[in-house]
Amino acid sequence: MSFVTGLQCRECGQNYPQEPLHVCETCFGPLEIQYDYEQIKKSISREKIATREHNLWRYRELLPIDGEPRVGLYSGFTPLVRAQRLGAALGVQQLYLKDDSVNHPTFSYKDRVVSVAISKAIEFGFDTVSCASTGNLANSVAAHAARAGLDCYVFIPDGLEQGKIIGSGIYGPKTVAINGNYDDVNRLCSEIGDKYGWAFVNVNLRPYYSEGAKTHVFEIA
Ligand SMILES: [Zn+2]
């Protein structure tokens, strides 16, 4: 079950149903997920969350999926690391660093956003997931797509260093190098998403994708 009531334009406030949309038709503003927070308040508590598995889905009432999560069962719940010496240098008595570099499976905070976007892509019925990326995002999309058994295309600028491509390549996506910079790749991906009906985690699924980032803050709180 979901507490999502729909999408809303951040600029003009126009409402949209829960679909793979990311831009307002009227003003081109970004769309954001809307929740019924009153109902959420009645359903969860800090105690209830504390009893759950140590992954980002422990906050699932505050995430935009309807059914069970499909990927990301080991993503999130990264440690707070006490930084005593840095704290002393800064004059802070209790300083902790949230270390998202140990996220599963690709050691990047992108595993949070991609877990949510791909779980949602499966709910929407997409069989192909994709992204425009300069490295970390491609790794994470390729890894989660492999886990879910989805076709995966990653689009990268053609000047990208080999080391960054290998991280995605091991998961077997179809990698397409575009002659241009990241903005060129991104623009092309918007057109490809429309033409082929693919889920681009950071284009047509961006509102869902962005929600995954909140879990970082929930964990700190
Ligand atoms: Zn608008």
pLDDT tens-digit profile of 16-27? 999 999 999 999
Instruction: Return the domain boundaries, the chain.
Output: 4-67, 110-208
Task: Give the whole-angstrom CA distance, residue 4 versus residue 117.
Answer: 15
3 state DSSP class of 50 = helix
Question: 62 CA distance to ligand 1 centroid (A)?
Answer: 23
Question: 31 CA distance to ligand 1 centroid (A)?
Answer: 8
How much is the pLDDT for 49? 96
Q: Encoding tokens for residue 67?
A: 């059914």
Residue ranges, the chain, pLDDT below 70 = none
How much is the pLDDT for 218? 96
Question: 191 CA distance to ligand 1 centroid (A)?
Answer: 21
Question: 196 CA distance to ligand 1 centroid (A)?
Answer: 25
Sequence-distant (6+) residues with CB within 8 A of 183 are none
How much is the pLDDT for 1? 74
Alpha-carbon radius of gyration of the chain: 18
Question: 118 CA distance to ligand 1 centroid (A)?
Answer: 25
Question: 101 CA distance to ligand 1 centroid (A)?
Answer: 35
Question: 23 CA distance to ligand 1 centroid (A)?
Answer: 8
Q: Encoding tokens for residue 18?
A: 């829960």
In percent, how much of the chain has pLDDT > 70? 100
Strand residue runs (E) in the chain:
4-9, 15-16, 31-35, 80-82, 96-98, 128-132, 151-157, 174-178, 199-200
Question: 30 CA distance to ligand 1 centroid (A)?
Answer: 7
Question: 15 CA distance to ligand 1 centroid (A)?
Answer: 9
pTM, entire model = 0.95
Its CATH class, for the domain covering 110-208, is alpha beta
